[in-house]
Chain A
Amino acid sequence: MILRELSRQTLRSCLANGGVRLRTGPIVTCIRSRCDEVLNGLALLYADYPVEDEGSFADFHAAIAPPRSVRRWLRPQISFEFDGASPFFPLPADQAFAALEWGLNWCVSFHCHQYLIVHAACLERTGCALLLPGEPGSGKSTLCAGLVSRGWRLLSDELALLDFATGEAVPLPRPISLKNAAIDVIRAFAHDAVLSTPVHDTSKGSVAHMRAPLESVHRAGELARPRWIVLPKYRSDATTSLNPLSRGRAFMELADHAFNYDLHGRRGFDLLADIVSGCHCHTFEYSALDEAVTVFDTLSATA
């Protein structure tokens, strides 16, 4: 069953009671909430995702709920709850869906240590994976959204999961987080993209989420071997330029952007080294998204 097959009333009831067991790639999260923002966000952005049976195994149990303090009576607030605990400060209630997305990222990055997890967007074309590691503000999500709007398959916008057994990237296709100016950039670039209503004044500024393409959701079980590592950098006046990056430097960048590289010790080193040895590595500066897409289409032809 997929989420859109649940009536709105059923979805609301499931969220309010036992939870909705949502599958995103290899991960099942049991989500509970009585917030309309969560209900609406899931219905809009996760409509095509598998929903597992009530009572089946879930990797994570997450909830968006009012905080257990009197402050919630002064100003509506929500808290992200994980296994019954609240690891973060409460947020304004209109940020409920964004808080769920951030919380789910936290669940994966701090618990899914069966993978090497790199803070990177990850896409696929011609059977090969493109890793885009980058700091917040590097333009990685904007580039990712632009590429998936032009036929690249989304594996992940935020967390690249690398499999120790095969060295392949494991899809975790979830909504793409767009911030501030990137929201209008993608609206103009991809007219058919489905975006949530932006929420403003978050810790990251204005935030909206873009729905993952249907094909990416359907092919969430198809792993892909990394072939390109590209460090993106958006700069408002940049001329589009793709430049070679040494594999040694690319290795260090991936290690720096990994959440659990240190945790895995030698195993993590060997996996990253194997991946880097099979990749073409570049830095990339851009300001025009259409030119950026052209560059990456050309790059994918070298697979």
Chain B
Amino acid sequence: MQSLSVPRWRSVPRDAVALREFDGEFVVRNESTGNSHLLGLLAGRVLVVLLDARGSLDAAEIASHLDTTVSPVETGEAYDAVEEVLAEFCRLGLADIEST
């Protein structure tokens, strides 16, 4: 049986984004695309976790780093929410799956 590896995520380098938090929302500028985005609390916290990480993280590791006040949901739901955020980050060029 073939085992599927869990994707591991890495954000763009910290100096490639500008980030500000306002009252539970985040505005972020992606220097590599020149685009600015408005992120909700969960997405903003996920990005901060990725930016602060020393290496790549999988969705479960990211979810475990999140403050419970950010995502007061069951572990499975938090995992799903983080995966959705990561997929959006991939589309926006804020994070990518680490190639093995």
Docked CA distance A261–B36 (Å): 10
**Does A247 touch B at the CB level, under 8 Å?**
yes
Taking the complex as formed, is B18 at the interface, i.e. its CB lies under 8 A from any CB of chain A?
yes
Question: Cβ of A277 and Cβ of B18 under 8 Å apart?
Answer: no
User: A269-B18, A273-B20 given as contacts; is B26 within 8 A of A248 (CB)?
Assistant: yes
Q: Is the CB of B18 within 8 A of A270?
A: yes
Which of A255, A266, A277 is B22 in contact with, Cβ under 8 Å? A277
Interface size on A, residues (CB 8 A): 16
Contacts of B20 in A (CB 8 A): 251, 273, 277
Which of B18, B25, B38 meets A266, CB within 8 Å?
B18
B1-37 residues with Cβ-Cβ distance < 8 A to A are 18, 20, 22-23, 25-27, 29, 31, 34, 36
Pair B38/A247 contact, Cβ less than 8 Å: no
* A-side contacts of B29, CB under 8 Å: 265-266, 269
Query: Given A262-B34, A265-B34, A252 and B22 touching (CB < 8 A)?
Result: no
Query: Whole-angstrom distance from the CB of A277 to the nearest CB of chain B?
Result: 7
Kindly list chain B residues whose C-beta atoms are within 8 Å of the C-beta of A246: 22-23, 25
What's the minimum C-beta distance from A121 to chain B, rounded to whole angstroms?
A: 23
Q: Which residues of chain B come closer than 8 Å to A235, judged between CB atoms?
A: none
Interface residues on B, range: 10 to 19
Per-residue CB contact flags for chain B residues 37-77 toward chain A (1 = under 8 Å, else 0) read 01100000000000000000000000000000000000000
Is A111 part of the contact surface with B, judged by Cβ < 8 Å? no
Given the interface pairs A255-B36, A269-B18, A270-B18, the reply to whether A248 lies near B23 with Cβ below 8 Å is: yes
In the complex, what distance in Å separates the CA atom of A262 from the CA atom of B39?
19
Closest beta carbon of chain A to B17's beta carbon, Å: 10
Is A31 part of the binding interface, using a Cβ–Cβ cutoff of 8 Å?
no
Residue in contact with A252 in the complex, picked from B18, B27, B31, B34, CB distance below 8 Å: B27
When the two chains form their complex, are residues A252 and B23 in contact, meaning their CB atoms are under 8 A apart? no
Per the bound structure, the CA–CA distance linking A252 and B18 in Å amounts to 14
Q: Is the CB of A247 within 8 A of B34?
A: no
Which A residues are within 8 Å of any B CB, using their own CB? 246-249, 251-252, 255, 261-262, 265-266, 269-270, 273, 276-277
Q: Which residues of B contact A (CB under 8 A)?
A: 18, 20, 22-23, 25-27, 29, 31, 34, 36, 38-39
8 cross-chain pairs, A with B, having the tightest CB-CB distances, nearest first: A248-B25, A247-B22, A269-B29, A273-B20, A269-B18, A251-B27, A248-B22, A252-B38
